[in-house]
Amino acid sequence: MSEGGDSGRPGPSGDHTPRLEQRPLSVLERRLTLADMLDTSTFAELVKSFAELYKLGVKVFDEKGNRLADIKSGNGDFCGYVFSFPEGKRCCTQTVARVKDGPLATTQNARAPAAPQGTKVHGMIAVPCFTGLRYLVLPILWEGDVLGRVVFGPFVPEDLGELPSSLTDLTPGIDLAQAQSYLAKIRRAPESTIVKVLLHFAQLLETLVAAGQKTFLTSQVHIEATLENNRELETQNKRLELMNVQLKDMDRLKSSFLATVSHELRTPLTSIIGYSEMLSEGLVGTLNQEQTDYVRTIMEKGDTLLKLISSILDVTQIEAGKVRLTFEPVNVGDLVSTAVSSIKPQAQKKGLTLDLRLPGRAVEVRADREKLRQVMVNLLSNAVKFTPKGGWVQVLVTEVKFQPELDGEGWQFVVQDSGVGVPTDQLDKIFQSFYQVDNSSTREFGGAGLGLAIVKSYVEGHGGKVRVQSELGQGSRFEVMLPVSPPPPRSVIAPPLSEPPPPPPDRF
Amino acid sequence: MQLNHAQRELTVKVVYYGPGLSGKTTNLQMIHARTGSEGRGKLLTVETHDDRTLFFDLLPVFFHTKGGYTVKVKLFTVPGQVIHNATRRVVLQNADAVAFIADSRRSAGQENNQYWANLQDNMRENGLNAAQVPIVIQFNKRDLPDSKTDAELQETRARGKEPVVGAVAIRGEGVLETLYAVLQLAYRKMDEQAGLSRNIGLTEAEFLKLIFARMDLSGTQVGDWLANGEAPR
Which pLDDT tens digit goes with each residue over A463-479? Answer: 999 999 999 889 999 99
Residues on chain A touching B62 (C-beta within 8 angstroms): 143-144
pLDDT digits (tens, 9 = 90+) for A391-407: 999 999 999 889 888 88
Q: Is the pLDDT of residue B113 over 90?
A: yes
d(CA B150, CA B156): 10
Are the CB atoms for B85 and A228 separated by under 8 Å? no
Q: Which of B153, B211, B160 has its CA nearest to residue B31?
A: B211
Check if B94 contacts A (Cβ < 8 Å).
Answer: yes
Give the model's confidence band at A14: pLDDT under 50 very low, under 70 low, under 90 confident, else very high.
Answer: very low
**Ordered DSSP codes for A15-65:** --PPPSS--PPPGGGSPPPHHHHS-HHHHHHHHHHHHHHHT--EEEEETT-
Give me the mean pLDDT over the B55-76 stretch: 93
pLDDT digits (tens, 9 = 90+) for A421-433: 988 888 888 888 7
Check if A77 contacts B (Cβ < 8 Å).
Answer: no
Q: Which of A465, A459, A466, A501 has its CA nearest to residue A325?
A: A459
Give the model's confidence band at A35: pLDDT under 50 very low, under 70 low, under 90 confident, else very high.
Answer: very high
Q: Is the pLDDT of residue A196 over 70?
A: yes
Are the CB atoms for A75 and A99 separated by under 8 Å? no
Check if A21 contacts B (Cβ < 8 Å).
Answer: yes
pLDDT digits (tens, 9 = 90+) for B129-188: 878 899 999 999 999 999 999 999 998 888 888 999 999 999 999 999 999 999 999 999
Are the CB atoms for B189 and B132 separated by under 8 Å? yes
Check if B13 contacts A (Cβ < 8 Å).
Answer: yes
Contact A29 B44 (CB under 8 A): no
Residues 14-33 of B with CB under 8 A from A: none
Check if A64 contacts B (Cβ < 8 Å).
Answer: no
The CA distance from A69 to the nearest CA of chain B, in Å, is 25
User: In the prediction, which pLDDT does B51 show?
Assistant: 65
Please count the residue pairs, one from chain A and one from chain B, whose beta carbons lie less than 8 angstroms apart: 114
Contact B193 A15 (CB under 8 A): yes
Check if B190 contacts A (Cβ < 8 Å).
Answer: yes
Q: Specify the higher pLDDT residue, A445 or A317.
A: A317
* Nearest Cα residue in chain B from A122: B38
User: In the prediction, which pLDDT does A265 show?
Assistant: 85
Residues on chain B touching A23 (C-beta within 8 angstroms): 93
Q: Is the pLDDT of residue A341 over 60?
A: yes
Q: Is the pLDDT of residue B196 over 60?
A: yes
Q: Specify the higher pLDDT residue, B228 or B32.
A: B32
Cα torsion angle, A392, A397, A398, A403, sign: positive
* Nearest Cα residue in chain A from B83: A229
Q: Is the pLDDT of residue A7 over 50?
A: no
Q: Is the pLDDT of residue A257 over 90?
A: no
d(CA A453, CA B132): 59
pLDDT digits (tens, 9 = 90+) for A213-245: 999 998 999 999 999 999 999 999 999 999 999
Three-state secondary-structure class, residue A263: helix
ipTM: 0.85
The CA distance from B213 to the nearest CA of chain A, in Å, is 16
Residues on chain B touching A218 (C-beta within 8 angstroms): 46, 54-55
Contact B72 A4 (CB under 8 A): no
Check if A220 contacts B (Cβ < 8 Å).
Answer: no
Phi, psi of A11 (to 5 degrees): -80, 175
User: In the prediction, which pLDDT does A304 show?
Assistant: 83
Q: Is the pLDDT of residue A497 over 70?
A: no
Cα torsion angle, A182, A187, A190, A192, sign: negative
Classify the phi-psi angles of B59: left when phi > 0, otherwise alpha if psi is within -120 to 50, otherwise beta: beta
User: In the prediction, which pLDDT does B56 show?
Assistant: 87
Give me the mean pLDDT over the B74-99 stretch: 91
User: In the prediction, which pLDDT does A490 show?
Assistant: 58
User: In the prediction, which pLDDT does A18 show?
Assistant: 39
Q: Between β-strands A401-403 and A408-417, what pairing exists: parallel, antiparallel or unpaired? A: antiparallel
Contact B6 A214 (CB under 8 A): no
Of these ranges, A25-34, A304-313, B204-213, the one predicted with the greatest mean pLDDT is B204-213
Q: Between β-strands A58-62 and A67-71, what pairing exists: parallel, antiparallel or unpaired? A: antiparallel
Give me the mean pLDDT over the B110-122 stretch: 93
User: In the prediction, which pLDDT does A5 show?
Assistant: 45
CA distances from A498 to A151, A197, A431, A457, A495 (A): 75, 78, 12, 10, 6
How many helices (DSSP H) and strands (DSSP E) are in chain A?
11, 15
Percentage, residues of chain A above pLDDT 90 = 53
The amino acid at A369: R
Q: Which of A402, A401, A404, A382 has its CA nearest to residue A393?
A: A382
CA distances from A392 to A121, A380, A415 (A): 105, 12, 11
Q: Between β-strands A353-357 and A364-367, what pairing exists: parallel, antiparallel or unpaired? A: unpaired
**How many other C-beta atoms are found inside a 10 Å radius of the C-beta of residue A119?**
13
